[in-house]
């Protein structure tokens, strides 16, 4: 009788160990398959120790009362990763960790040199170049964009060479400004419409790079790269510090019948936890990277951690580009307590008055035969 009892106890222990090992093995295979964790499994069934599976839990965003990911807060998109990849890097999509660290170290060293006190004994600038803002006023950052563990060499990820796929210049549709300047008798300072929208303080637009902070697309500028996002169940508002532009974006399926507007006609919808914004009918005077009035921009925002929103955009304009192209960057949460203040843009308006007044004085001088 005792032997029978021992036999059944031994059999029970053996079967328990067998099932524990099987369950642990299946769990490991499942977790490996979905790539959501790195499990550890320790099974010592014969000793009566239950298996333990330790896995990392996927990050889950806070949600609004309506159940959508909460994108609200204050953010910045400053970075030193360029939009277009240097041609010398070809299709190298990412830096190694060492290359990224070296690149960022050079940027920090350059910033430190620029921020060093000026020599009070230096002479006056010569050659007509008196300089511009020093780095105290700039907000360029010293970071390389990191997405999916990659230190990106450019924002553009498609095409693979990281470059804007322009059509040949003679095949591109001209911008509104180019069409005006091509008209007989029209000079570059004949009226305010012939100046950039940045100089007119309509939207901040960098004529040197075609970047616009408010967009779309929302690109980092030389300074004031800060945003505030506000959500309701029916709208998303993206407030841009430069020049205090507010994009009020309804969540709906249909665009408005308005022919065009500044920042375009944007509508949004959710694809899972990703906010997708589609914009068309941008104002003809608002050209980004050579775009025409046929441009359609698709933006995607997804919060991937407490401090990061991944942002991508696709530019589709068959009159200018050989194919649609896509870029990615990150919006990083501002430190606690930092907010967006009003950027009161009046400087450009004063400059615009001077530019046009100077041009009219030149017109008078030309009529009078003055040099």
Question: Over the stretch 195-204, which tens digit does the pLDDT of each residue have?
Answer: 888 788 888 7
pLDDT at 124: 80
CA angle 231, 233, 237 (to 5 degrees): 30
Q: Does the pLDDT value for residue 3 go beyond 50?
A: no
What is the rounded average pLDDT of the residues 150-155?
Answer: 97
259 in a domain, yes or no?
Answer: yes
145 in a domain, yes or no?
Answer: no
233 pLDDT band, cuts 50/70/90, is very high
State CA 151 to chain mean position distance: 15
pLDDT at 34: 35
Looking at per-residue pLDDT, the higher value among 120 and 236 belongs to 236
Q: Structural domain tally of the chain?
A: 2
Looking at per-residue pLDDT, the higher value among 28 and 188 belongs to 188
Tell me, yes or no, whether 166 and 41 share the same domain: no
Residue 90 backbone class (left: φ over 0; alpha: ψ -120 to 50; beta: rest)? left
156 in a domain, yes or no?
Answer: no
Question: Do 160 and 89 form a contact (C-beta atoms < 8 A)?
Answer: no
Instruction: Please tell me the distance from the alpha carbon of residue 189 to that of residue 174, in angstroms, as a whole number.
Output: 19
234 in a domain, yes or no?
Answer: yes
304 in a domain, yes or no?
Answer: yes
Tell me, yes or no, whether 30 and 176 share the same domain: no
Instruction: Please tell me the distance from the alpha carbon of residue 331 to that of residue 301, in angstroms, as a whole number.
Output: 9
Q: How many CA atoms lie within 13 A of 66 on its CB side?
A: 12
Q: Is 81 exposed, middle or buried (0-12, 13-18, 19+ CB in 10 A)?
A: buried
Tell me, yes or no, whether 43 and 173 share the same domain: no
84 in a domain, yes or no?
Answer: no
Tell me, yes or no, whether 40 and 169 share the same domain: no
Instruction: Please tell me the distance from the alpha carbon of residue 106 to that of residue 113, in angstroms, as a whole number.
Output: 11
Distances 351 to 121, 146, 198, 258, 347 between C-alpha atoms, Å: 31, 39, 11, 32, 6
Range of the domain at 16: 2-47
Q: Which residues fall within 8 angstroms of residue 28, CB to CB, at 6 or more apart?
A: 39, 41, 53
What is the rounded average pLDDT of the residues 241-251?
Answer: 91
Tell me, yes or no, whether 192 and 333 share the same domain: yes
Tell me, yes or no, whether 36 and 171 share the same domain: no
Q: What b/e readout covers 47-56, taking b as 16+ CB neighbours within 10 angstroms?
A: eeeebeeeee
Question: Do 275 and 267 form a contact (C-beta atoms < 8 A)?
Answer: no
Report the percent of the chain where pLDDT is more than 90.
54
pLDDT at 65: 94
Give the number of other Cβ atoms within 10 Å of residue 143's Cβ: 18
HEC profile of the chain: CHHHHHHHHHHHHHHHHHHHHHHHHHHHHHHHHHCCCCCCECCEHHHCECCCECCCCCCCCCECCCCCECCCEEEECCCCCCCCCCHHHCCCCEECHHHHHHHHHHHHHHHHHHCCCCCCCCCCCCCCCCCCCCCCCCCCCCCCCEECCEEECCCEEECCCCCCCECCHHHCCCCHHHHHHCCCCCCCCCCHHHCCCCCCCCCCEECCCCEECCCCCCCCCCCCCEEEEEECCCEEEEEECCCCEEEEEEECCCCCCCCCECCCEEEEEEECCEEEEEEECECCCCCCCCCCCCCEEEEEEEEEECCEEEEEEEEECCCCECCCEEEEEEEEECCCCCCCCCCCCCHHHHHHHHHHHHHHHHHHHHHHCCC
Strand 325-333 and strand 274-280: the pairing is: unpaired
241 in a domain, yes or no?
Answer: yes
What's the predicted TM-score (pTM) here? 0.80
- Output the six-digit token pair for 306: 């407490």
What is the rounded average pLDDT of the residues 205-221?
Answer: 79
* Digit-coded pLDDT (tens) for 118-138: 888 888 877 777 777 777 788
Tell me, yes or no, whether 345 and 199 share the same domain: yes
Residue 95 phi/psi, 5° resolution?
A: -85, 155
362 in a domain, yes or no?
Answer: no
């Amino acid at each position: 009788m005792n032997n029978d009892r021992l036999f059944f106890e031994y059999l029970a222990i053996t079967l328990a160990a067998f099932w524990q090992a099987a369950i642990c093995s299946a769990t490991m295979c499942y977790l490996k398959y979905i790539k959501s964790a790195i499990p550890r499994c320790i099974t010592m069934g014969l000793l009566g120790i239950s298996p333990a599976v330790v896995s990392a839990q996927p990050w889950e965003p806070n949600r609004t009362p309506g159940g959508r990911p909460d994108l609200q807060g204050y953010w910045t998109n400053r970075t030193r990763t360029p939009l277009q990849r240097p041609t010398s890097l070809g299709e190298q999509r990412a830096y190694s960790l060492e290359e990224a660290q070296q690149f960022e170290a050079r940027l920090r060293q350059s910033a430190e040199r620029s921020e060093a006190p000026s020599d009070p004994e230096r002479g006056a600038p010569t050659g007509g170049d008196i300089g511009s803002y020093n780095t105290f006023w700039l907000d360029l950052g010293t970071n390389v964009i990191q997405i999916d563990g990659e230190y990106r060499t450019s924002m553009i990820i498609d095409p693979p060479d990281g470059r804007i796929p322009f059509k040949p210049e003679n095949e591109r549709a001209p911008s509104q400004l180019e069409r005006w300047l091509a008209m007989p008798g029209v000079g570059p300072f004949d009226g305010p419409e012939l100046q950039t929208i940045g100089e007119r303080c309509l939207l901040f637009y960098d004529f040197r790079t075609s970047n616009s902070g408010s967009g779309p697309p929302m690109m980092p500028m030389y300074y004031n790269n800060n945003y505030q996002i506000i959500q309701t169940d029916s709208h998303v508002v993206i407030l841009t510090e430069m020049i205090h532009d507010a994009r009020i974006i309804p969540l709906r399926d249909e665009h408005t019948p308005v022919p065009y507007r500044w920042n375009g006609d944007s509508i949004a919808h959710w694809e899972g936890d990703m906010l997708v914004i589609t914009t068309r009918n941008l104002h003809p005077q608002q050209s980004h990277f050579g775009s025409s009035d046929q441009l359609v921009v698709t933006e995607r925002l997804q919060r991937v951690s407490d401090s990061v929103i991944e942002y991508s955009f696709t530019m589709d304009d068959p009159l200018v580009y050989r194919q649609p192209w896509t870029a990615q960057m990150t919006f990083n949460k501002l430190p606690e307590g930092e907010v967006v203040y009003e950027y009161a843009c009046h400087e450009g308006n004063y400059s615009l008055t001077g530019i046009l007044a100077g041009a009219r004085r030149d017109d008078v001088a030309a009529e009078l035969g003055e040099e």
